[in-house]
Structure formats: C-alpha cells, structure tokens
C-alpha cells in the first residue's frame, strides 16, 4: 500500500507441534553432552589429580604453593589438613595441604 511500509499478511498453518517439541529435546540433549565433555569432565579430572597429589605429600618433598612459595616439606600432620614447609634453614611456614600446586623434582631449591 505504502511505499515504505510493507503489508502484513497472516501466516499459513505450519507443521505439527510434536515435531518441534522432539527437536527441542534433541537440542537439549546435545547441549547437555557438550556441557559434560567440555566443562564438567575436565574439571572433575583436575580435582581428582589434585586430591591424589595432596594425598601423596611426604616429608622431604620440594613443593610449589599457590602463593608462589617454594620449599621443602619438614612436617606433615596426617590428622590435620596442614603441612610445614621450610623455605630455608631458618624459616618455616605452615600452609594447608590444598595450597600445594605441584611437587617439584629433587634439587630444585638448590638450583634457584
């Protein structure tokens, strides 16, 4: 009718509603699988590896903490969740076991 405004026409009858509901379920399942394989599974694997690392801590291991401290474990208390790390001959620090990021190879402190 007008030069700038298009006429509105009613939509004709479309497909059945059951097919679109089934397609939505398939799409939801695909998104669930993507979420599982890209987010949940790798994070669960990292948590399991860190739990094994914390369980394997022993006296004499050289470790790196989340705060960036490098030291040798001088005391491990099994009943509590803390370890004592010797930064050098005179200074010891008590940290939580969960704060340990990695176990370093023997002799790393001497090379620093």
Domain spans of the chain? 17-55, 58-111
Are 49 and 41 in contact by the 8 Å Cβ rule? The answer is no
For residue 73, which of 81, 89, 84, 82 has the smallest C-alpha distance? 84
Residues 54 and 52: their CA atoms lie apart, in Å, by 5
- Which pLDDT value is given to residue 25? 93
- Partnered with residue 92 across adjacent β-strands are 86
- Which pLDDT value is given to residue 2? 65
Residues 63 and 50: their CA atoms lie apart, in Å, by 13
pLDDT digits (tens, 9 = 90+) for 2-51: 677 777 776 776 555 556 788 999 999 999 999 999 999 999 999 999 99
- Which pLDDT value is given to residue 8? 73
Domain 58-111 in CATH 2.40.50: no
Q: Is the pLDDT of residue 1 over 60?
A: no
pLDDT digits (tens, 9 = 90+) for 50-78: 999 999 999 999 999 999 999 999 999 87
**pTM of the prediction?**
0.70
For residue 53, which of 110, 1, 99 has the smallest C-alpha distance? 99
pLDDT band for position 87 (50/70/90)? very high
Q: Is the pLDDT of residue 111 over 70?
A: yes
């Amino acid at each position: 009718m007008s030069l700038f405004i298009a006429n509105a026409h009613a939509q004709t009858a479309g497909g059945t509603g059951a097919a679109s509901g089934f397609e939505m379920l398939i799409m939801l399942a695909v998104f669930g699988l993507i979420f599982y394989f890209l987010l949940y599974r790798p994070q669960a694997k990292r948590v399991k590896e860190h739990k094994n690392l914390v369980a394997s801590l022993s006296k004499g291991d050289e470790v790196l903490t989340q705060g960036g401290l490098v030291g040798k474990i001088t005391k491990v208390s099994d009943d509590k969740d803390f370890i004592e790390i010797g930064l050098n001959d005179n200074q010891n620090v008590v940290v939580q076991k969960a704060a340990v990021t990695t176990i370093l190879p023997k002799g790393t402190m001497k090379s620093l």
